[in-house]
Amino acid sequence: MSARDEVLARVRRAKVSGSGSGAAAPVPREYRAAGTRGPGDLELFAERLRDYRAEVRVVDADEVPTAVAAALRERGARHIVTAPGIPPEWTAGWAAEQARAASAAERAAAEQVAAAAAEQAAPQVGEQVAAAAHEQAARGAERAAARSGTAELSDPIGRIESRVPLGGDAREALREMLEAADAVVTGCHVAVAETGTIVLDHDAADQGPRALTLVPDYHLVVVRAGQVVAGVPDAVAALAGVRTQTWISGPSATSDIELERVEGVHGPRTLEVVIVRDTQ
């Protein structure tokens, strides 16, 4: 007999031997069920998130780009990754800031190089070389200026597709990319006010594959008011049929040393949430 058949046979034998087997009593579901508590309370949601020491910003819809930019700026993020399907405007503010900063930095660097070259060259080789260095510096600054604000600038935002082929070099490349990223930006599927929980659907384009939100040390999630539900049953109902999920409640944490909570072990050490109010 195969192990499968034997285990099943044992289960059936156990059922026969035990009195009251077969039909168990119907499950009493007298707890607060899905859909009975109205929409999630945004203030409670924010409070519960802060309880886990997550960073929270509550903004209007038109403030999202500014809020995301401010969050990433304060974090000092230089290279971010995002889920492929997030609305481009979420990161547009930050991208513009980066571009301005990059061109300014490039211009300043070029001028510095030119000045240094002129200083060094002048006494030794004479006016000619110094003039050439100045010219070069000027061209560098012009190039930088021309590139600023255009798509030509090397994109600091990597978008990770949701179907990443595993195996071989692609996998290595993905890991390297994620490890190099300072921050990840995604949306979410549903959020629970009572527990301060955010749930990602990894088949959704604006939430991305699982590794995306796991490897970078900082995770920024944009949650729309309409996605916030009151309790766990509401979230479970909203997640029926969603194949791959991650429920996130605050940053990674452990209580393994004397049962004292420490934030930040293997997952992102900082979780930041931008809650978008309904505009109506």
Partner 1 sequence: MTTFLGMPAGGGNLTGEPFPQAAREALGNAQLRRNLAKATGTIRAKRANVVGELPDWAQLRAAGAAIKDDVLANLDEYLLRFEEALTSRGTHVHWARDAEEANRIVTDLVRATGTREVIKVKSMATVEIGLNEALADIGVHAVETDLAELIVQLGKDKSSHILVPAIHRNRSEIRDIFRREMPGVDPGLTDDPRALAEAARRHLRHKFMTVDVAISGANFGVAETGSLVVVESEGNGRMCLTLPRTLISVVGIEKLVPRWQDLEVFLQLLPRSSTGERMNPYTSVWTGPTEGQTSHVVLVDNGRTATLADPDGRAALRCIRCSACLNSCPVYERTGGHAYGSTYPGPIGAVLSPQLTGVDRNPTLPFASSLCGVCYDVCPVAIDIPSMLVHLRERVVSAKRATPESTAMRALAWAMSDARRWRRLVRLGKFGRLASRHVPLPGWSTARDLPQPPKETFRDWWESSR
Window 101 to 120, contacts with partner 1 (CB under 8 A): none
Distance (Å, whole) CA 273 – CA 251:
11
Closest approach of partner 1 to the CB of residue 170, in Å: 10
Q: Is 26 in the site for partner 1 (CB under 8 A)?
A: yes
Nearest to 71 by CA among 221, 240, 255, 231: 221
Contact present, 255 and 261 (Cβ < 8 Å): yes
Residues 6 or more apart whose CB falls under 8 angstroms from that of 258 comprise none
Q: Is 32 in the site for partner 1 (CB under 8 A)?
A: yes
Closest approach of partner 1 to the CB of residue 115, in Å: 42
Contact string 241-270 vs partner 1 (x = CB under 8 A): -xxxxxxxxxxxxxxxxxxx-x-xxxxx--
- Sign for the CA dihedral angle at 150, 222, 55, 179 comes to negative
Residues 6 or more apart whose CB falls under 8 angstroms from that of 65 comprise 89, 90, 91, 92, 93, 94
Pick 55 or 63: Cβ nearer partner 1 = 55
Closest approach of partner 1 to the CB of residue 158, in Å: 17
**How many beta carbons lie within 10 A of that of residue 227, not counting itself?**
20
Q: Is 22 in the site for partner 1 (CB under 8 A)?
A: yes
Closest approach of partner 1 to the CB of residue 13, in Å: 7
Q: Is 37 in the site for partner 1 (CB under 8 A)?
A: no
Exposed/middle/buried for residue 235 (C-beta within 10 Å: 0-12, 13-18, 19+): buried
Closest approach of partner 1 to the CB of residue 49, in Å: 11
Pick 129 or 242: Cβ nearer partner 1 = 242
Q: Is 136 in the site for partner 1 (CB under 8 A)?
A: no
Residues near partner 1 (CB under 8 A), total:
81
Contact present, 184 and 218 (Cβ < 8 Å): yes
Window 171 to 190, contacts with partner 1 (CB under 8 A): 175, 179
Window 201 to 230, contacts with partner 1 (CB under 8 A): 202, 209-211, 214
